[in-house]
Structure 1
Amino acid sequence: MYYDSLDAFLKSADTTLKQGPVGMIFVEDDIEVGSTVRHHLDSGFKQLLVLMPEAFDLPEDVVDKVARIDFDIAKGADYVDAVNRIAAAAPGLWMYYCFNAEYLFYPFCETRTVGELLTFHTEERRDAMLCYVIDLYAGDLEVHPNAVSLEDAHLDKSGYYALARNDPDNHNYPKERQLDFFGGLRWRYEEHIPAKRRKIDRIALFKSKPDLILRDDHTFTDEEYNTYACPWHHNLTAAIVSFRTAKALKANPGSTFDIHTFKWHNSTPFEWHSRQLLDLGLMEPGQWF
């Protein structure tokens, strides 16, 4: 289905947003749009919304499988507002959001659907899931100057860390079961990244409910949604492997000439398999086996 605006889509939300999980892909440029859509279709999202500029084309093999919505971030469209409006239109559904050239991985995703993942998570009385955004980058920037290559993708195998998330409304005491996570390109090239954009944690999977608001730092107004685990044991976490930071660093005139390669001694080829991310500690299976 095609909609010429988010408003047009939301007018039909009563009939179009009936079943979850619902995926939202925000397209910022024309890089790897098709592979992003196919990956999330294969993950088992019941409905996939692709919000993209009118000038871009969707591959023919996915056109009839998604809802395409005209939406142009470059012209000022706000993805945070869009997530909140879509979530408000369909309370009680699991939802997910990402950008093009980002790919969701979760434990055992090769054999289990995202619906199965979220069914188990719901049974553990959890309404949101912490995701780590793991930077991908092409190994050879001369061959791939935009830093994107599915065949030559690399990631950092170490260099990730967490800091306490202090609560300014409570004398800056650390928030319970909340941490700020850092690493990857945003850590290695932090001089080119605004401080408020350096975190790699994102509450990308969440259950919509009335009055729930996503904030522009990828957290929600319900503080329990922002926790990495429940009080009694570890919970599942997921990873979003993402070329988004690498693309930005090579597209930005202030950084592109300073970066000749993203590879360093802790780079390793990405195997496009959940086992590698689990082995590196970049997501957590919790009690799910």
Structure 2
Amino acid sequence: MKWENALKDYQLYLKIERGLSKNSIDNYALDVKKLMRFLEDASITISPITITAETVQQFIYTAAKQINPRSQSRLISGLRSFFNYLVFEDYREDNPLELIEAPKIGQKLPDTLSEEEIDLLIQAIDLSKPEGERNRAMLETLYGCGLRVSELINLKLSDLFFEEGFIKVTGKGDKQRFVPIIDLTKKYINIYRTQIRNHMNIQAGFDDTLFLNRRGKQLTRAMIFTIIKQLAVKIDLKKSISPHTFRHSFATHLLKNNADLRSIQLMLGHESITTTEIYVHLDKSHLTKIVEQFHPRK
């Protein structure tokens, strides 16, 4: 079996059997491609069926010199998944990463923005330009609904149920959920729709896409990152932020204002509440208030 064939079959498995998003599949494939590149550069001719733990260990050791522990852990996890697939399909009898341990890493808490910082970023948007109304609506949606960047750029007009107070979001693995939308977010989306989007030359196939670029097509993830980075520079924000920072801030602020974890989990689309629990670590004052309010010996 050639590496290219094994990788192609693996990507198909991730899509059909595990229902992963394109971004997730690309990330898993990238881990395998790094190993393939290493073998090619080292002139090692060996198939995914016959590669040994020693060769994989050699690759991990080489990669470790160039990436941080968290990236090492991600690489090992991705390769372990690939070889587990080969074992599952009876191509191999063992996983060469079984005895390779990932480096110990601490829990990485997500960066967040204060309410004041979010206000400053949104106020910094130049509304004199047509894309300004779009950018304001996008950032209000990221923060107001706690969306992932992929969920934002894929949002459809047909996903908006404003009368019911919800939007339909398609998340990881094409799983759909309904997220509440507040009046302020609805207001800015409607301004963008009626004053900007309605006057655009929309390209075929993007009639239902909510947020569009100047050419009438879907925005890219990179464009959202760029917009946010430029706004951060404009207000001289010293934090390193991304679209995901707005999602983290959404969850953290809800928790701080006494929303329960289960509700936040449903709105974020986390499969496990353990993922949502990371936000508890961001604001210890919230835990103190809970004890003071509910403990019988307060």
TM-score, length-scaled by structure 1: 0.21
Greater helix content: 2
Larger radius of gyration: 2
TM-score normalised per structure 2: 0.20
Q: Which has the higher contact order (CA 8 A, sep 6+)?
A: 1
